[in-house]
A and B are shown apart, each in its own frame.
Chain A
């Protein structure tokens, strides 16, 4: 079965990202396809490579990046939500005249249409949020 996953909350503040990662791992193990993971609202904060949690805490952003690298996941960050919250890739930072970018490997920034398309293309859409 083909899934689109929507993550509405940032890492560490809510359990939503943790639940989504566990769900995605289990779905992949069962042989399902993850068509796309879309990050919206504070969920865009999953995609910053600048998080440095304490040594004994889990690495949420790295878990996403590893899933993307291992399974070719399409991790899409909503551009409008990202701009509000300071999540930038190199192109966008340059376009906005900013001095840095922070997007993590495996993530890309795109429009909300990618979420709607994900809903249309996938057999199931599962939402994780608060």
Chain B
């Protein structure tokens, strides 16, 4: 099967709706198809990867640790909108430290989060072949 550039666009906050969780389920499945997968976190989507999520009080499962596993599935490109962070009073320090081990560089640990501005995000989107948004 051919390889395509897949982009998953995440623009919604977690827990209030199921979109973030079920989007992540597709991302994990796509890894099995060995596609060139990227994720974009724009607008309220940046809340999906904040650190210190504690969902005990709402009776729902905290699924944010799953993002930490993405590197093991060779999903290593998580583009985060700097404007979206700034608009929400957040910085990269408010996000989980998401990393992967680079097999081409002696398994050095590298960051998966790529901070991009709107122009860079738009340029990245223009490279995609299949764009899934939920």
Do A and B come into direct contact in the complex, CB within 8 Å?
Answer: yes
Task: List the interface of chain A (C-beta within 8 A of B).
Answer: 6, 8, 40-41, 80-81, 111-113, 115-117, 119-120, 125, 127, 129
Q: Provide the residues of chain A in CB contact with B2, threshold 8 Å.
A: 120
B133 at the interface (CB under 8 A from A): yes
Q: Are B35 and A40 in contact (CB under 8 A)?
A: no
Report the minimal beta-carbon distance from B134 to chain A, rounded to whole angstroms.
6
Q: Count the B residues whose beta carbon is within 8 Å of the partner chain — how many?
A: 19
Within 8 Å by CB of B32, from A113, A115, A127, lies A113
Q: Provide the residues of chain A in CB contact with B19, threshold 8 Å.
A: 8, 41
Q: Mark B22-46, 1 if CB is under 8 A from A, else 0.
A: 1001100110110100000000000
Task: List the interface of chain B (C-beta within 8 A of A).
Answer: 1-2, 4, 6, 18-19, 22, 25-26, 29-30, 32-33, 35, 130-134
Q: Are A120 and B35 in contact (CB under 8 A)?
A: yes
Q: Are A129 and B134 in contact (CB under 8 A)?
A: yes
Q: Provide the residues of chain A in CB contact with B22, threshold 8 Å.
A: 40-41, 80-81
Within 8 Å by CB of A120, from B26, B33, B131, lies B33
Report the minimal beta-carbon distance from B52 to chain A, rounded to whole angstroms.
27
Report the minimal beta-carbon distance from A105 to chain B, rounded to whole angstroms.
26
Closest residue of B by beta carbon distance from A119: B130
Closest residue of B by beta carbon distance from A8: B134
Q: Provide the residues of chain A in CB contact with B30, threshold 8 Å.
A: 116
Q: Provide the residues of chain B in CB contact with A116, threshold 8 Å.
A: 6, 26, 29-30, 32-33, 35
A81 to B32, CA, bound (A): 19
Q: Provide the residues of chain B in CB contact with A115, threshold 8 Å.
A: 26, 29, 132
A20 to B32, CA, bound (A): 28
Cβ contacts A to B, 23 pairs, < 8 Å: A6-B132, A8-B134, A40-B22, A40-B134, A41-B18, A41-B22, A80-B22, A112-B25, A112-B26, A112-B29, A113-B32, A116-B26, A116-B29, A116-B30, A116-B33, A117-B1, A119-B4, A120-B1, A120-B2, A120-B4, A127-B132, A127-B134, A129-B134
